[in-house]
Amino acid sequence: MTSPASQFTTDAGRVAPDLRHRGIIQAAMGKYETVRDQRKKWFQDWEGARNLAARTKFEAVNHLDRYLEEFVSKLEARGTKVHWASTSAQAREIIFSILREKDAKVVVKSKAMTSEEIHLNAAMAEAGYEVVESDLGEFIVQLREEAPYHLVFPAMHLTRGDIKETFEDKLHITSSDNPEDLTMVARRVLREKYLQADVGITGANFAVAETGMISITENEGNARLTAALPKTMITLVGIEKVLPRITDLALFLPMLAVMGTGQALTCYNTMYGGPRQADEADGPEEFHVVLLDNHRTSLLADAEQRDALGCIRCGACLNVCPIFKNIGGHTYSTTYGGPIGSVITPHLRGLTQWKHLSDASSLCGACTETCPVKIDLHHHLLQNRRNGAKLKPSLFQKTAFKLFAPVANVRVLWSLTTQLSRIGMKVRGLVNGSIIDPAHAWTKTRELPPIAPQSFREWWKERQ
Amino acid sequence: MNERENIFKRIREALKAPAHSLAGGLPTVAEQRGVMPAVSSEHEAQMALFHANSAELRAHIVLVADMRDLETKMAALRDEEGWKKVAAHVGDLSITTAQSLGLPVLITHPGFDKEELATCDAGITECDALVAQTGSVLVTSRSAGGRALSCLPPHHVIIARREQLVADLPTAFEQLVQKYGGNYPSMISFITGPSRTGDIERILVLGAHGPKHLTIFMV
């Protein structure tokens, strides 16, 4: 089996020079950047808002036990069943036991990254349930049997033509390639599923401790229908999602919208605090909340990187990341891509297997600068590199630094090496870019910068 | 119960290592307002802002003078769109207006038939508040006839009173706490324009799953 690191290198090498992919992503990101920047200016003080959001998350994460306890007791008081899962397997088992008890056949889902994290769809399909993703982008990638490309825009990598073909192949429905027509195809197909579904599964963007509510942000209304029509509702949420007070949402909802999609406010921001109450017309008879740890507590234990638990999954760091834009969302092969994914995946799935993600960064800091909750992302990437080197230094790195250290520490050796390199560069110039070029790995796609004709010392001596 | 204890044990153990401190604590509402988009304190300016935001969101606002005017204008909408059946909930404004249309009306009493709701051309509801800052309509399962009425039919029609307009999101949340604190409805939703998606090439399409049209009658 290929390791995640070599898979990553192969995929990155394939996607980066793919001009079609580049064109699609640049077009989508260009539109996003324009509206996002307009909305940031709409705030009186965007930097101030980031500070307040960071303070709120700092308080919540550093008193997670207290707020989680409050959240759960408030939820349970209004008839919600709360379940606890330390691992993915436990979370799946909890959900399966509810499905069995309800004798469910059709399950409708609204977008939930936590469910991607525990690979719920595949497990449910294998167990014989009909599972339908209802978010349009998720529905499209589910039909194509792909993972979501992006935290917020799952089908960002596809054109209308690709989607038209997918609908023809998988649904046997012919439509024009007009986005409106394509959306209406999905609306019709999914409407029927909503009315048939026995169970609805959602994620959550926030968990409000003070009132015992989950909050879901969405544009399509698919989560609202998922929470309204099936008799049983299950919400799978990470334990780190708590916010202390309901009024905190007044700040977080617009910030999430601005950063996520460049909207002032996402179309539906909905809070759910229980199953249907006695005086209410409809809603599920049972509401289950499954709280997922799945190594979030290991990230919590790392005081240096704990702030990464404040992530609101807006996707803003992916959108500004030069690496993400070049290698694309699927290359990461992780649930969470981009800078935040590179930071947290080593905690969620093991540093040895996933430290290569932190190497794939220019450390430009664009992610840190854009993050609405001020997670120190690019420093965390550096810390992961450090931790990775401590854990298991690569033989190449070890040898390279062993050779480099004596040369760099002895003046005469250093001068000699730079002089030899200058000659070497000239000779190499004759074979530049060809297969026998010693720097072929670099020069097959890029220019190798020349070594300066003069060292600083030489230059200084001349000036004296 | 066991996993609950395990998770709490791990959390408490993890929090023994203190993080770099971040001064300030939880922000006050005044601090929130200080950074968020500014909204005038004048009612007229707030009304103008709500109109402008609604236009951008492609929600329609219809100003009506009184109940008679409401019924006339609602009937005009019925004719324009060719409604054959509507749904509404029991409320001071919603039920009489719906019944004045001379069409079959599905009332979302507990246990109503959701398949029947799916065949209605419009869902007529009241609301808790209108938010000038964002052009949002605040509904709850108690004020707007449950969860599906404001989401399943292709046209969501809201009947609001002008005095329900509030300046900003912090005010709307404060009002929620005052109105329901201790006994919240099981669903609370800020609806900001008709349902939409940008999942195909980031091109805006209205009516993804929820209503394609959103009309707000202001009495």
Among candidate residues B45, B28, B36, B26, the one with its CA nearest the CA of residue B132: B45
Closest-approach residue (CA) in chain A for B53: A264
Mutate to test the interface with A, among B29, B119, B134, B197 (most CBs of A within 10 A): B197
State the nearest Cα–Cα gap between B35 and chain A, in angstroms.
5
Domain boundary, last residue among A252, A272, A294: A294
Q: Where do we find the tokens 């008879």?
A: A285
State the nearest Cα–Cα gap between B79 and chain A, in angstroms.
24
What's phi and psi for A147, nearest 5 deg?
-85, 155
Closest-approach residue (CA) in chain A for B58: A267
- Chain B residues with CB under 8 Å of A49 CB are 35-36
Q: Is residue A391 part of a domain?
A: no
Name the token pair of A319: 């959108």
With b for 16 or more beta-carbon neighbours within 10 A and e for fewer, the B68-98 pattern comes to eebbebbbebbeeeebebbbbbebebbbebb
% of chain B residues with pLDDT over 70 = 100
Q: Which residues contact A431 (CB under 8 A, 6 or more apart)?
A: A437
Q: What is the pLDDT of residue A360?
A: 93
Q: Is residue A9 part of a domain?
A: no
Q: What is the pLDDT of residue A388?
A: 92
Contact A297 B145 (CB under 8 A): no
Strands B136-140 and B122-125: unpaired
Distance CA A135, CA A149 (A): 14
Q: Is residue A89 part of a domain?
A: yes
Name the token pair of A199: 């169970």
Q: Is residue A245 part of a domain?
A: yes
CA B106, B110, B113, B119 torsion: positive or negative? Answer: positive
Domain that holds residue A418: 399-463
Q: What is the pLDDT of residue B22?
A: 81
User: Could you say which DSSP state residue A209 is in?
Assistant: T
Distance CA B43, CA B132 (A): 10
Total domain count, chain A: 2
Q: Looking at domain B49-218, which CATH architecture does it have?
A: 3-Layer(aba) Sandwich (3.40)
CATH code where residue A165 lies: 3.40.50.10420
Closest-approach residue (CA) in chain B for A299: B14
Q: For chain B, give the longest Cα–Cα distance.
A: 68
B188 touches A: beta carbon within 8 Å: yes
3-class SS of residue A315: coil
Q: Which residues contact A432 (CB under 8 A, 6 or more apart)?
A: A443, A448
ipTM surpassing 0.85 = yes
Q: Which residues contact A120 (CB under 8 A, 6 or more apart)?
A: A91, A92, A95, A201, A236
Q: What is the pLDDT of residue B198?
A: 92
Q: What is the pLDDT of residue B1?
A: 54
Q: Does A406 lie in the same domain as A272?
A: no
Count the neighbouring beta carbons within 10 Å of the beta carbon of residue A364.
Answer: 13
Q: Is residue A11 part of a domain?
A: no
Total residues belonging to chain A: 464
pLDDT, averaged across chain B: 95
Q: Which of A134-143, A391-400, B21-30, B94-103 has the lowest mean pLDDT?
A: A391-400
Contact B192 A281 (CB under 8 A): no
Domain ranges for chain B: 49-218
Among candidate residues A336, A343, A344, A338, the one with its CA nearest the CA of residue A320: A338
Do A376 and A317 contact (CB within 8 A), yes or no? Answer: no
Mean pLDDT per 10-residue interval, chain A, length 464 residues = 90 94 93 94 97 97 97 96 98 97 96 95 94 95 95 94 95 94 94 94 98 97 97 98 98 98 97 96 97 97 96 97 96 96 96 94 96 97 94 84 91 89 85 82 81 86 91
Q: What is the pLDDT of residue A193?
A: 92
Total residues belonging to chain B: 219
Residue A208 CA: distances (Å) to CA of A55, A205, A242: 16, 10, 6
What's phi and psi for A365, nearest 5 deg?
85, 5
Domain boundary, last residue among A274, A294, A314: A294
Q: Is residue A31 part of a domain?
A: no
Would you list the DSSP string of A129-188? -EEEE-SHHHHHHHHTT---SSSS-TTTT--HHHHHHHIIIII-----S-HHHHHHHHHH
Domain boundary, last residue among A277, A294, A311: A294
Q: Does A221 lie in the same domain as A72?
A: yes
Task: Give the gyration radius of chain B's Cα atoms.
Answer: 21
Name the token pair of A17: 């020079």
Q: What is the pLDDT of residue A119?
A: 95
Do B168 and B136 contact (CB within 8 A), yes or no? Answer: no
Q: Which residues contact A325 (CB under 8 A, 6 or more apart)?
A: A22, A25, A26, A29
Q: What is the pLDDT of residue A1?
A: 60
Contact A250 B177 (CB under 8 A): no
3 state SS for chain B: CHHHHHHHHHHHHHCCCCCCCCCCCCCCHHHHHHHCCCCCCCHHHHHHHHHHHHHHHCCEEEECCCHHHHHHHHHHHHHHHCCCCEEECCCCCHHHHHHCCCCCEEECCCCCCHHHHCCCCEEEECCCEEECCCCEEEEECCCCCCCCCCCCCCEEEEEECHHHEECCHHHHHHHHHHHHCCCCCCEEEEECCCCEECCCCCCCEECCCCCCEEEEEEC
Count the neighbouring beta carbons within 10 Å of the beta carbon of residue A460.
Answer: 10
pLDDT confidence band for B53 (50 / 70 / 90): very high
Mutate to test the interface with B, among A297, A309, A379 (most CBs of B within 10 A): A297
If you average pLDDT over residues B193-208, what whole number do you get?
A: 93
How far is C-alpha A269 from the chain's CA centre?
21
Q: Does A428 lie in the same domain as A285?
A: no
Contact B19 A49 (CB under 8 A): no
Contact B14 A297 (CB under 8 A): yes
B75 touches A: beta carbon within 8 Å: no
Among candidate residues A394, A367, A396, the one with its CA nearest the CA of residue A380: A367
Distance CA A209, CA A392 (A): 41
Contact A191 B24 (CB under 8 A): no
B190 touches A: beta carbon within 8 Å: yes
Distance CA A229, CA A272 (A): 14
B89 touches A: beta carbon within 8 Å: yes
Residues A312/B194/B114/A275 CA torsion (nearest 10 deg) = 30
If you average pLDDT over residues B127-141, what whole number do you get?
A: 98
User: Could you say which DSSP state residue A3 is in?
Assistant: -
Closest-approach residue (CA) in chain A for B88: A281
